[in-house]
Structure 1
Amino acid sequence: MVTDTEGYIHIIEYLTEHLSLFENSATAEDSESVMEVIEIELSEQIIMVCSQNSTLSFNQRNAIIREVDAIVYDLEEILSGVVNNPVTAEQRTFIKEFAGLIKNLFDSVINTLLTKQDE
């Protein structure tokens, strides 16, 4: 659905271009870990995706959840050395932006799916 799109590849490339942001988290202001913030932000965005698309079937919603699980797995792999570190304010801002990009990608793919479904 999403993880096999070119848009997803670009979003992952965007993350890798900003990996330096995650190298030094000694100045963390928060007790939440990088992974906890990723999970929170992605969850909020996916809840919005599902609530904005009330016509999604149960199977389509399950497919979205499976895709999010795959995305979280990818993020754990890419950020494996820092996922348990306390998150910094800069990292939190980046993660929020990144989750928004993921939401936009879901919005785009879902719009295409629903358009094809209506034809």
Structure 2
Amino acid sequence: MVTNTEGYILVIEYLTAHLSLFENSPNIDNANSSVLEVIEQEMSENIIALCNQNQDLTFKQRNTIIREVDAIVYDLQEILSGVVNNSVNSEQLAFIKEFAILIKNLFDTEINNQFIL
């Protein structure tokens, strides 16, 4: 649905262009959230919003979206493998929020294209 699109490739390239935000980030004991926890939370919130905005999605379409999000989170875990368990800092948090919105926008576009066709 989304992971095989040009848009997804561009979003991943955007992430790789900003990997410096995640390099050499220390793991702070007793911090609130890890990078992976924030990724999962932000992706979940945006996909819940997506489904709420598109009440006409079928059960099968919703499951497809969830599988795609799982694949995206897996990709992020691979790309950020060295830091996913580190504490998230404010710059990383802002980037992850923006990234999750970009992913939601890809789904919005794909859903819109499917309903138009």
Q: TM-score range by the shorter chain?
A: over 0.9
Q: Point out where structure 2 has 5 or more consecutive residues left out of the alignment.
A: none
| Aligned sequence identity (%) | 68
Corresponding position: 1:79 with 2:80: yes
Partner in structure 2 of residue 13 of structure 1: 13
The equivalent of 1:67 in structure 2 is 68
Distance 2:89 2:25 in 1: 6
How far the C-alpha of 1:8 sits from its partner, in A, is 0.1
Aligned residues: 116
Counterpart-to-counterpart distance in 1, 2:95 and 2:19: 10
> 1:30 Cα deviation (Å)?
3.9
Distance 2:25 2:46 in 1: 25
Answer whether contact 1:30 1:88 (CA < 8 A) is retained. Answer: no
Match of 2:114 in 1: 113
Deviation at 1:25, TM superposition (A): 1.9
TM-score (norm 1): 0.93
Cα pair 1:33 1:83 within 8 Å, conserved: yes
The CA deviation at 1:24 is 2.4
CA shift, 1:115, in A, is 1.3
Q: What is the distance in 1 between the residues matched to 2:81 and 2:114? A: 33
RMSD over aligned Cα atoms: 1.4
Query: 1:2 deviation in Å?
Result: 0.2
2:34 matches 1:33:
yes
